Amino acid sequence: MSSYEPEPGALRRQAEAWWVRLHSGQATRADADAFRQWATHSTAHAQAWREVMRIWSALDPLLAEEAARQASRTRAFSWAGVSRALHSPGRRAFLGGAVAASVAAGVLAVEPPLGLWPSVTDMAADYRTATGEQREVALGERASVRMNTQTLVNRIGGANAHGIELVSGEAEVVTTGAAEFFVETGGGRLQARGARFNIRHTGPQVCVTCLDGRVLVSVGGEQRSLEAGRQVTYDATGLREVVRADVVSVSTWRTGTLSFDRMPLSEVVAEINRYRPGKVFLRNDELGRTLVRMQVSLRSIDNAPLMIRELYGARMRSLPGGIVVLS
């Protein structure tokens, strides 16, 4: 037996993989024997397994809600099957029922519950940033892309890319020289040369802000031309009118600070979740409508739930794995 011991992070990932496998409904006796050998290999292995069990047990209720939500959008589930799983006895009945069915169907790989691990789409992207990560990518002589947290980008046009697809997330694009560069995202196409612009595609709506130069935005046969300091949004229904942009607010992520000025708390929490590992849940609709003024450094983003508790009187419950419930 090798004396080599994986680093704690690798052991944690191995333990999580064993958890999913053993609760998939497809585990065999050989899997059980292999797991037993893995778990008893060392004290560190056993500790990694205990920590994963503790986290998943605490997350059972939240995962049950997520499975029910996913069940409404996929044929892999039936409401009757989810109901039976949720009402089965035992703390881990859900993990043996709804989660097992979804793992077997590949649903959790496509849309992981609570965003606890990267999806298949995430892993397949040419460039991706993890939660809290920012990254700059040079695309030859045509452009460079500064990617914000939780952003997926695919290259279009091979090694000498003429453009990119922003699958999701947020990015600042700088195009150089006389050659035209394009970005496809959310059903629209952006074209620019010698320009700098910010694109945010974190939901059904896309927001494009021109910071320097000029950007042409085309959606469904319509076009808008943006000059520096102008902004336009669009979604599946089409383009909106061009408006003046709050350039400082748009670029605030580049400074390492999140600034909220009279934004509903529900939206603040959603934004914090883009930068913070784990997930913050807000279980109070009235509190969610509260207009918030606060500033959070990305370096101390883990303190954001505590700030919300102190400033706005929310009750806070912390769970393993970076899960926080505010009510």
Identify the pLDDT of residue 90: 41
Instruction: Report the pLDDT value the prediction gives residue 223, as an integer from 0 to 100.
Output: 96
Any long-range contacts for 123-126 (C-beta under 8 Å, 24+ apart)? Answer: 125/152, 125/153, 125/154, 125/167, 126/153, 126/154, 126/155
Give the residues across from 250 on adjacent strands. Answer: none
Instruction: Tell me the backbone φ, ψ of residue 171, rounded to 5 degrees.
Output: -155, 150
Largest CA distance in the chain: 67
Amino acid making up residue 239 = L
Among candidate residues 178, 132, 179, 138, the one with its CA nearest the CA of residue 151: 132
Which DSSP letter does residue 320 get?
G
Could you tell me which CATH class the domain 126-250 is placed in? mainly beta
Single pTM value for the model: 0.69
Q: Is 86 within 8 Å of 61 (Cβ atoms)? A: no
Where are the domains positioned within the chain? 8-117, 126-250, 256-326
Per-residue pLDDT tens, the chain, 327 aa: give them.
Answer: 344 456 667 888 788 778 777 766 667 878 888 888 888 888 888 888 888 777 776 666 666 665 555 555 544 444 344 444 434 444 344 444 444 444 444 444 545 555 555 555 666 789 999 888 999 999 877 899 999 999 999 988 755 558 999 999 999 999 987 778 999 999 999 999 999 999 999 989 999 999 999 999 999 999 999 999 999 999 999 999 999 999 988 988 998 888 888 999 999 999 999 998 888 888 888 999 999 998 999 999 999 999 999 999 999 988 766 788 888
Strand runs labelled E in 71-156 = 127-128, 135-139, 143-147, 152-156
Place of tokens 């053993």: 22
What class has domain 256-326?
alpha beta
DSSP secondary structure letters along 176-218: -SSS-EEEEETTEEEEESS-EEEEEESSS-EEEEEEESEEEEE
Both structure tokens of 144: 């460079």
End-to-end CA distance of the chain: 50
Q: How far apart are CA 120 and CA 51, in angstroms?
A: 25
Q: How many residues does the chain have?
A: 327
Structure tokens at 137: 């990518």
Dihedral (CA of 91, 96, 98, 103) sign: positive
pLDDT given at position 86: 39
Contact between 229 and 258 (Cβ < 8 Å): no
Asked if 131 contacts 276 with a C-beta cutoff of 8 angstroms, the reply is yes
Two structure tokens written together for 319: 């769970």
Residue 111's pLDDT is what? 53
CA dist., res. 272 & res. 167, Å (int): 20
Q: How far apart are CA 144 and CA 314, in angstroms?
A: 42
